[in-house]
Amino acid sequence: MFQSTGARIGLLAAVALAGCSASHPGEELARPQPVFGVAAFFAGRTHGDATLKIIFKHPEPVRVEGFGRSGPDGTLVLDQEVRRGTRAPEKRQWRFRPLGGNRFAGTLTDATGPVAGEVQGNMLHLRYPMKDGVTAEQWIYLQPGGRTALNRMRLTKLGITVGRLDETIRKLD
């Protein structure tokens, strides 16, 4: 019995440490180049194909059509139409304002608070609160050539992952 309990504790410790080692989804995609130019990538038309997996539910496809433009003050406005599974399309809007030092502040119609963003090399990291105490974090990796980005999103509640999204975004213009 003692050995069994010790083995269980060891297994739990190993699982906890393994969870600490992976800091974010898609971490292996991070590179110093190309540097993610947020306004340059999202200006004009974009198209995203994704799979959303919410805990205890079947994965569902997500399609996103976007159109971005820069305002006179440098704010990027990104209008999107999102089709999730067989549901009716929904409209949403992002607004990103550069703060300097590769940081951004923004808003999203789906968020319940501000969007914080930061560029590190080819990665754009976004974090924002959503309804029901859920926090969304996205790691978007610009790929070589600058016309494709891979989005890895994690949804957490009370520190527990409750959903993930894997998306390929293509610049059409």
Q: Which residues contact 86 (CB under 8 A, 6 or more apart)?
A: none
DSSP codes, 83-143: EETTSPPEEEEEEEEEEETTEEEEEETT-SS-EEEEEETTEEEEEEE-GGGEEEEEEEEEP
| pLDDT over threshold 70, residue 15 | no
Residue 3's pLDDT band, with cuts at 50, 70 and 90, is: very low
Q: Superfamily assignment of 30-171 in CATH? A: Calycin beta-barrel core domain (2.40.128.20)
| Confidence (pLDDT) at 25 | 75
Instruction: Locate the domains of the chain by residue range.
Output: 30-171
* Closest alpha carbon to 120 in 96, 104, 144: 104
pLDDT at 168 over 80: yes
Residues of the chain with pLDDT > 70, as a percent, come to: 87
pLDDT digits (tens, 9 = 90+) for 109-159: 999 999 999 999 999 999 999 999 999 999 999 999 999 999 999 999 999
> pTM for this structure?
0.85
